Amino acid sequence: MIELAPHTAVMIYLGLTLLTMLAIWLSHHFRQRKKGVVIPQQKLATCEYCGQLYLTAIEQKVSKCPTCASYNE
Selected binder of Zn ion within 52, 54, 56, 63 (CB under 5 A): 52
How many whole angstroms separate alpha carbon 28 and alpha carbon 1? Answer: 37
Selected binder of Zn ion within 50, 53, 55, 57 (CB under 5 A): 50
Virtual CA dihedral for 16, 21, 27, 31, nearest 10 degrees? 170
C-alpha 32: how far from its chain's center? 8
Selected binder of Zn ion within 8, 20, 60, 67 (CB under 5 A): 67
8 Å CB contact between 56 and 71: no
Task: Determine if 55 is a binding residue for Zn ion (CB under 5 A).
Answer: no
Site stretch for Zn ion (CB under 5 A), options 1-9, 17-25, 27-35, 60-68: 60-68
Number of Cβ within 10 Å of residue 4's Cβ equals 11
Task: Determine if 46 is a binding residue for Zn ion (CB under 5 A).
Answer: no
The residues of the shown chain that bind Zn ion, judged by CB under 5 A, are 47, 49-50, 52, 65, 67-68, 70
